[in-house]
Structure 1
Amino acid sequence: MTLSLSLADQIALELRADIIGGRLLPGMPLVEVELVNAYNASRNTIREALHRLGQEGLTRYVRNKGVMVRRVAREEVRDLFVVRRTLELQAIAQSGRLTEDQSRRMQNAIDATTLAREREDWRAVATHSLVFHQHIVGLMRSPLFDEFFAQVIAQLRLVFCAAPDERRFQSPWLERDREIYTLLVRQDKPAAGEAMSLYLDDSERLSLALFNHP
């Protein structure tokens, strides 16, 4: 039986989606009174939603300033990629033939990334690429992993916001996503796993390099 979400849960999910979508950036304030008006919710409901986001590592409370979207620290990046390797590589290793729905979802994410790149909307490029990787984890058909990975993806999105040149940082990944998808369609799991492992190695290296800038 699926439990219905509370209003606070729904608001937290929407705010997390805004982080993944690049609409809420590190350092942005989440003003309680504005959220009360935007969601027509009580202060207690908004505080509960913000508390949940804090538990997910997406917000922090700053004294005399209130709740703000959190900046991810360099030491946290390695842990995020430990999680990515664990889940994404396992998802590929245990995947079977892609269902029509799985294939469509992945192809839609790649098409959306392609369109965003053509428009030079690099923030959207990052978002749609992360959605593609959510669909990779989705191959395990585990709602618990899906929910956990959505939190990881949101934290990664905050990492990517640190890129001083979004175009340069996001340009390499579309073709590599497409390669992984093609290998999965061909049911070549060893090659898909190797491509994903190299992808994550390079993504981690470049993500860590973002913190070398003054």
Structure 2
Amino acid sequence: MPSPPHSARGDIGRRVATRRKQLGLSRQDVALRAAAAPGYIEYVEEQPSAAPGRGFLLRLADALETTVEELAGGTEDLPAGLARAASQARMAELDESESWALLGDHGVGRVALAGGDGPVVLPLNYQVLAGEVMFSTAEHSPLAMADGTEIAFEADHIDDAFSRGWSVLLVGPIRVVLDEDVARRLRQEAYSAPWAGEEREHVMVLAPRRVTGRRIIVRGAPGDVG
């Protein structure tokens, strides 16, 4: 039976599926962690009518290294990082290969650049392309006006459940893609159109000269070695 379209899934199902994929887990993996049948994990993810009980949600949240509140969307409109700092946290520097691995091939990050009234920080979708990062923006946006200058790009992930996270910083020159055929191909190959909407077809590429990253490691948290 084919999966229903993403928009037909329930909110909890979407969050469960997203978190599972972030952790690189299969439904079988989650089922083993949560002491459930794989078929029930599939049911929760795919059926908008799914209404798992509190006891199962507690086990599922633990299996996905998060909280019931996160899965239920209770923190959806809140900024990340509201949890208290962990008592045994430490900072670790990431090498360049680890930093690229965390960025993946697409996502949402922030660019920092010099604007007419001072520094500007803008959130936007990104796509990683063979050691460079592509953005689609509006033709007269602050990012488009930064063509030929040096900017900073940052992406991160915050895990409130365990008070840990990582951040990656890229610094280098940004350039506009002048060849419209190349720009069109890059837009077509991108994982997603900009979340901010249409009329953002001005393709820009960041060629970083410096790639750095940091991770907060918490002793005893799943997946971390203290």
Computing the radius of gyration from Cα coordinates, the structure with the larger value is: 2
TM-score (norm 2): 0.27
Q: Structure 1 length normalisation: TM-score?
A: 0.28
Task: Flag the structure with more relative contact order, 1 or 2, with Cα contacts below 8 A and sequence separation at least 6.
Answer: 1
- Larger % of strand: which? 2
